[in-house]
Structure 1
Amino acid sequence: MKKFKMFFDIEKEEQWLNEQLQKGYRCTNISGSGIYTFEKTDKTYVMRLDYQDYLSKKKFKDYKGIYEDFGWSYINSPWLSGTRYWQKEDDDQNEIFSDRQSKSNYYKRLMGYSSCFGLLCLFYSYMIYKDSGLYLAEGLWSMEGAMFWKAFLFETPFALLRSLPALMAVIFGISYYKAYRKYSMLKEK
């Protein structure tokens, strides 16, 4: 079974993955485009996410070996995200060590991505709207009656498409704000 899902909050992602495990579906792969691959299982598993900055091949091999020594299995996932996915059969010791510094680094990285993409979308929106606005139909606002409504309804889907970059800038702004709140909470403790 494959499911498409996008997450900006790692804790919600871990919760969702564990809900899938409770339904009897074990995760086997996670692609960079948000496609999760599951297989049916009769065993009870638990999944944990760990947050690591870039690791060299040697450091990753050592890191992976430590977790595997404690019974965790590594799930293939996007390499550059910094999120590492671990799964094992449910027993008394289901927590992995993930320090506050690695979590705060993750949220700091997410803030950087969100601000970069948000500013790009904002700049692109400005380039679209600076001369023309959303509706490009010539003389639209001077039309009357049925002619106005036909032109307006025809142009509206295109106007909505032109507003997409501004909407994306807002979404990235919200993502930045949420990551900043979590980052500052981790720094306070």
Structure 2
Amino acid sequence: MRRFKYFWNFTDEEQWLNEMARDGKHFMYRSFGYRFEKGEPKDTTYKTDYRMFKKKADFDDYEMLFEDSGWQRLPCPRRNGHQYFKRVRDDASDDIFSDQTSKAARYKRLSELFYNQFIMFLPILVVFIFTNNNLNALNLMNPIDWYLTPELWERTGSAFWRAFLFETPFALLRGLTFYLVLFCFLFYGYYYWKAKKQYEKESKIF
């Protein structure tokens, strides 16, 4: 069973996974959505972290540390940064973090990811707006200008429809690509700000 949801707040994500387990839907892994396995309702505790690893040895040490503490890492792709743990021993601690500082640090790492993505889309957006070879800011709101076939709108009958239908996929690619880039730019910028604020908030909690 697959569920599609987006979380930037780790606490909200953990609470949702725990509620799903109490409803008999047990989290297995995350890859293009959340994958669940149906079973008996159970009070299961899930915890999340965000951490990237350049070396496999560092990742193995990280995983072993939690296993020794009674937390099982779920088999999610390690390279995407999102790490998920399930409490598997009754004597395990209530949280995977030993202090508030390390718990807050995951938001710092997440904000850095969003910031890098935000910066990556900035030059692409500038190119779309200011390069003469692309759509400029004045015609982006006019889909007619996305079509480049000479005298297309003066044609009639089958000649018009053949040219119109042939070029429409390319016209949509020209026009909508800008909006996709703009959306990604704003999306990553917004969540960079949210994650940064959450880090600052949790860093002050002692």
Alpha-carbon deviation of 1:41? 1.5
TM-score (norm: length of structure 1): 0.74
- The aligned amino acid for 2:94 is E
1:5 to partner: Cα distance? 3.1
Structure 1 gap ranges (5+): 144-150
Question: Which structure has the bigger radius of gyration?
Answer: 2
Q: Is the 8 A contact 1:51 1:84 kept in 2?
A: yes
Cα deviation code 1:62-94 (max 9, x no counterpart): 331122xxxx443222324153321449x7988
Q: What is the CA–CA distance in structure 2 between the aligned matches of 1:74 and 1:170, rounded to whole Å?
A: 33
Counterpart in 1 of 2:182?
Answer: 166
Deviation of 1:107 (Å): 1.0
Q: Which residue of 2 aligns with 1:42?
A: 40
Q: SS state of the match for residue 8, structure 2?
A: coil
What residue is the counterpart of 1:112 in the other structure? 112
- SS of 2:176's partner is helix
Deviation of the 1:175 alpha carbon: 0.4
Counterpart CA distance in 2 for 1:64 and 1:52 is 17
The residue aligned with 1:146 is: none
Per-residue CA deviations over 1:138-169 (Å, capped at 9, x if unaligned) read 69xxx8xxxxxxx9xx6578523322101110
Alpha-carbon RMSD: 3.3
Cα distance in 2 between the residues matched to 1:47 and 1:170: 34
Tell me if structure 2 keeps the 8 A contact 1:64–1:74.
yes
| Worse-matched range after superposition: 174-183 or 128-137 | 128-137
**Structure-2 change in CA distance of 1:125 and 1:30 (3 Å):** same
Correspondence for 1:58? 61
Q: For structure 2, list consecutive stretches of 5 or more residues without a partner in the other structure.
A: 154-163
**Percent identity for Structure 1 against Structure 2:** 22
The separation in 1 between residues aligned to 2:25 and 2:59, in whole angstroms, is 32
Compute the displacement of 1:184 (Å): 0.7
